[in-house]
Structure 1
Amino acid sequence: MRRITRTITTLALSAAMAAAALTAVVTPPPAQASGACSNSGTGIPLPFDFGSLGFPRGGAAQGPQKPLPHFDNGRTKTISWVTGPLSRNKTFTRFGISGTDVGVAWDNGRGQTLMAFGDTFGNCLRQDRGWRNNTLLRSTDTNLENGLTLQRRGYAGPMFGAFGFSGIEKTKIPTAGISIGGKQYVNYMSVRAWGPPSRWFTNYSATAVSSNNGRSWFTPQSTIRVNAGVDVALPAGWPSVNHVNPLFQQSAYLKGVGDDAGWVYQYGTPNGRFGAAHIARFRPGDILDPGKYQYWTGTRWAGGAARPAAIVRGPVTELSVAWSPYLNKYVMLDSPNGVKLRTANHPQGPWSAGRRIAPSSLELYAPMMLPSSPALRGTGPELYFNASRWDDYNVALIRTKVR
């Protein structure tokens, strides 16, 4: 049994190292990218059928985006589209983006908001649909009540490439971002293949680094966390093969404050949208060395040999976490059935029961808080977040009030 386990781990490790070696952009063949405009790459339950929408087969050039549904219940309100041809940012003509999702947001350390998006497509009438594994956009907008304005213009190229073949590596999706010491760090998952709705399979998660504000990225092999679920001792600088890795295939970053200051916290969930959330912590200078991470066991912080305890029971979906000086609490968003908000006094919890702040009828997923929100600056109760919509496969700006 040990020999079989090591063989499986070796295969997974080889795939992870080969995929991570793709530091240059790799464009998948047209046959692999052809599903992007039909939304086959996201694993969400409502794939587009352009024929039923009245578009010519193969997709309309600008994709399936429709006007953003109006919603305002006094606490939560849909503000505007962030991406898509119907957005105020006109991302189809400015950035070559008809559809995208996720929109992980963080402050770059100088007051600029960086946003990393997942699978992105452009002109849906092109053979390759203008498909990219991921993209990065920027904003300095702090007045979000009338929408989020993106900076500059020009074709938005991919952050980092992938093989582009299902069963090996279909794509790489950013799940978390943080700025430390003037550098940008993005945690991403290497998706091996998309499965049934809300299920997908990963090779590994890893952390990419940028020293030039996101214009180029590099993935140190030491940050690769192979999704094998076993422990294998490897030399320093090699990918990690550890039993905790499957719990951290998708992530969210948080900088601690008060008694929790001096630590960076990483929240993790397994691949897909049905697992529980766990938490690790590390010193800022150790972000590229998972061997120095500590894990919450339910009673204490312990090293990589620990058995982490779930801090929020599943299903937990793509999530974001931040400190709110307005509430004097940590805030967590995810979207298992509508968008839910939780609070805690410490990063590891205990976390409150999820309070639904947006109904499932809005079809939102991947709620990613914006660092310029008043609730995260201590100037008011308004919390703004990016959220993707199933039908339109684009990112919208949503506002809620945390109190």
Structure 2
Amino acid sequence: MRTKLIAAIAAIGLAYRCRKEFTPVDKIAHGLSPSLAPIDVHDTMSVSPTGTTTIIARQLGVPITGEGLFLPNGNTNTTWGLSETDMNIMFETDNHEIASVFGDNFRTSDGNNRLDWKSNAMAFSSDRDLRDGMTYSSFVAQGSGIQELIDVDPGETTKIPTAAISIDGRMYIHYMAVLNDWNEPSGTPNDNDEWTLSYGEIAYSDDYGQNWIKSGTKWAATSNFAQAAYLKDANYLYMFGTQHGRHGKVYLARVLQSDVLVKSSYRYYTGNGNSSSTSTTDWSANEADARPVTPNETSEFSVAYSTRYKRYFMMYLSIPRRAIVFRDAKDVTGPWSEEKVIAENVINGQTNWSYAAYFHPWSMGGDDLYFVVSHTNPKWSVFMYHTKIGQKRFNMVSEGDFEEFPSEAIGYQTQWKVPNSVSAAGYNSPTGCKLANSTSSPVEVAVQTIAVKKNTTYKVTAMAKASTTVTGMYFGIRRADGTFDDYAPSLNTNWQKISRNVTTGNNTSVDVRAVLFGAPGVDVTIDNVTMEPL
């Protein structure tokens, strides 16, 4: 359990603020809709939250007076000896139930003292009406309480599940073996977003979760697959991965479903630029060849495939934004869309350190998206959320309109690097990104790093204007190898659209950027920055 978070909330919570309110439970008028007809989402479009995100239910723990949430499982401290839990990964079993795997579980005697710690646990549900949360039908039990699935080895703090799936009657859990009581490694910020691992490993069960065997299939403590998220198709198990803590990028590997425990059979995505996951040239047997599919700081995360939209979904806590964000992609290898905020950290006016967002597998066929999120305040527990989703324009640039925090500084909790710029009136909007230039040297207006495929063409666009006629602003990309693909449009005092088709060369990441050269005394403002595949 992340025992240091409570202290961190008081110190950091004042920096968070709410951008949209959560609908009270009594106004909910939705359910788990039946699977809807598939939609062929055009390449220029994306899937995005379209409605108000709602917290529906407290899934576990002790009821809190006045909280106003459904309690589908009542007081689980009384019934199952489970008062607090860390996170909740869900997957569909071969018996067509939902299995929930939990990390770090406690019973309490008086609401404060933690007793009977279990590093991990599992429950089952067949509940398809999620309007009042998800009801568990049973737990993997030991006596009158929950059973620990995978025991902790000497010298370790805990074994936390990070991914789980069922294939041909066998269940698999990918877990991280945590060291040093969740303490940050030496030399890293004391922000509770780093921890030290011994390794990541797969455990499996052949008796529906009752007994688990450590397989010996491991990834190193510093591997980009030390934490994982699972997804399967007809042939492969896809393993998305990230490093220990919450500052890593997302990588991708795959293995035939018959070879999940054969580490030498895993192939790692290299980003060579072929069109889709069906290509064999994009996959290497060498883990060191793996290249990120998203470049942003990613925490515990989940992935899913929407049969409604024929797109892949990803969700996680964004550390720069301190919010739960959602991304989507046409192919499992990407390109992945911008980060779209799906849930805030301030709920009903109260700071709530939220993390560990996981999709409910049975909401992938409609427009009602259900997912669980873990909270630390006032007690660690798991909560069921709901939102509506629909189509919007596809964009690989996060916060391209600079509108996320209109009353904050332009660089507040953003993926943009804007050390020289300030907020200004945008294009038909309150906020754009303005550089008041005072030097003849090159000065960056705004820069954002994007994960791309090698040798691929993308289109970058923006709206731009200047305080006078100027041809010294360059717009385009800087490749990871230091080369550029940009141009210098002629700007004046009127807003105009600027656009360029750019190629990535032998690179898997680029910086989308606007930079001003040799124009002291000139102001330049940009807005509505986009990047999309051609």
Q: Does 1:186 align with 2:173?
A: yes
**1:176–1:81: structure 2 CA closer, same or farther, 3 Å change rule?**
same
Q: Does 1:249 align with 2:226?
A: yes
Which one scores higher on RCO, CA 8 angstroms, separation ≥ 6?
1
Q: In 2, distance between residues paired with 1:311 and 1:76?
A: 27
Q: Does 1:264 align with 2:237?
A: yes
By how many angstroms is 1:360 displaced?
2.3
Q: In 2, distance between residues paired with 1:226 and 1:306?
A: 12
By how many angstroms is 1:174 displaced?
0.4
**1:48–1:306: structure 2 CA closer, same or farther, 3 Å change rule?**
closer
Q: Does 1:175 align with 2:144?
A: no
Q: Does 1:111 align with 2:93?
A: no
Q: Hey, which bits of structure 1, 4+ residues long, moved more than 4 A?
A: 124-128
2:219 paired residue number: 225
1:206 paired residue number: 201
Secondary structure at 2:171's aligned position in 1?
Answer: strand
Q: Does 1:315 align with 2:305?
A: no
Q: In 1, distance between residues paired with 2:160 and 2:167?
A: 21
By how many angstroms is 1:44 displaced?
5.8
Q: Does 1:364 align with 2:351?
A: no
**1:372–1:119: structure 2 CA closer, same or farther, 3 Å change rule?**
same
Within the candidate set 310, 325, 335, 2:317 is matched to: 335
Q: Residues 185-207 of structure 1: CA distance to partner in whole angstroms, max 9, x if unpaired?
A: 00000001212412110000011
> Unaligned stretches of 5+ in structure 1?
1-40, 50-69, 229-245
C-alpha contact (below 8 Å) 2:355/2:375 kept by paired residues: yes
Q: In 2, distance between residues paired with 1:171 and 1:157?
A: 15
Root-mean-square deviation over aligned CA pairs:
2.0
1:88 paired residue number: 72
Q: Does 1:298 align with 2:271?
A: yes
By how many angstroms is 1:46 displaced?
2.4
Q: Residues 282-321 of structure 1: CA distance to partner in whole angstroms, max 9, x if unpaired?
A: 1001100111101111111111254211111131011000
C-alpha contact (below 8 Å) 1:339/1:358 kept by paired residues: yes
Pairing 1:1-400 to 2, within 5 Å after superposition:
41-42=1-2, 45-47=5-7, 71-72=22-23, 74-86=51-63, 87-89=71-73, 90-125=75-110, 129-152=115-138, 154-163=144-153, 168-193=155-180, 194-195=182-183, 196=190, 197-221=192-216, 223-227=217-221, 246-256=223-233, 261-299=234-272, 300-304=282-286, 306-336=288-318, 337-362=322-347, 363-373=353-363, 376=364, 378=365, 380-391=366-377, 392-400=379-387
C-alpha contact (below 8 Å) 1:44/1:390 kept by paired residues: no
Q: In 2, distance between residues paired with 1:131 and 1:349?
A: 40
By how many angstroms is 1:94 displaced?
1.4
Higher strand share: 2
Q: In 2, distance between residues paired with 1:128 and 1:398?
A: 27
By how many angstroms is 1:355 displaced?
0.4
Q: In 2, distance between residues paired with 1:44 and 1:310?
A: 30
Larger Rg: 2
By how many angstroms is 1:226 displaced?
2.7
- State percent identity of aligned pairs: 31
Q: In 2, distance between residues paired with 1:220 and 1:88?
A: 35
1:58 paired residue number: none
By how many angstroms is 1:45 displaced?
3.0
C-alpha contact (below 8 Å) 1:321/1:333 kept by paired residues: yes
By how many angstroms is 1:384 displaced?
0.8
By how many angstroms is 1:88 displaced?
2.9
Q: Residues 356-387 of structure 1: CA distance to partner in whole angstroms, max 9, x if unpaired?
A: 011122432100111121xx1x2x21111111
By how many angstroms is 1:138 displaced?
1.0
Q: Residues 189-236 of structure 1: CA distance to partner in whole angstroms, max 9, x if unpaired?
A: 000121241211000001110111111100112x122325xxxxxxxx
Code of the aligned partner of 1:185: Y
Code of the aligned partner of 2:206: S
Secondary structure at 1:200's aligned position in 2?
Answer: coil
Q: In 2, distance between residues paired with 1:215 and 1:107?
A: 16
Q: In 1, distance between residues paired with 2:193 and 2:297?
A: 11
Code of the aligned partner of 1:393: W
Q: In 1, distance between residues paired with 2:338 and 2:8?
A: 34
Question: Which deviates more from structure 2 when the two are superposed, residues 118-127 or residues 306-315?
Answer: 118-127
Q: In 2, distance between residues paired with 1:357 and 1:293?
A: 32
Q: In 1, distance between residues paired with 2:317 and 2:161?
A: 17
C-alpha contact (below 8 Å) 1:121/1:130 kept by paired residues: yes
Q: In 1, distance between residues paired with 2:4 and 2:305?
A: 29
C-alpha contact (below 8 Å) 1:339/1:364 kept by paired residues: yes
Number of equivalenced pairs? 314
| TM-score under structure 2 length normalisation | 0.56
By how many angstroms is 1:140 displaced?
0.7
Q: In 1, distance between residues paired with 2:103 and 2:90?
A: 12
By how many angstroms is 1:74 displaced?
3.6
C-alpha contact (below 8 Å) 2:22/2:52 kept by paired residues: no
Question: Which deviates more from structure 2 when the two are superposed, residues 363-372 or residues 317-326?
Answer: 363-372
**1:368–1:303: structure 2 CA closer, same or farther, 3 Å change rule?**
same
| TM-score under structure 1 length normalisation | 0.74
Higher helix share: 1
1:62 paired residue number: none
**1:355–1:305: structure 2 CA closer, same or farther, 3 Å change rule?**
closer
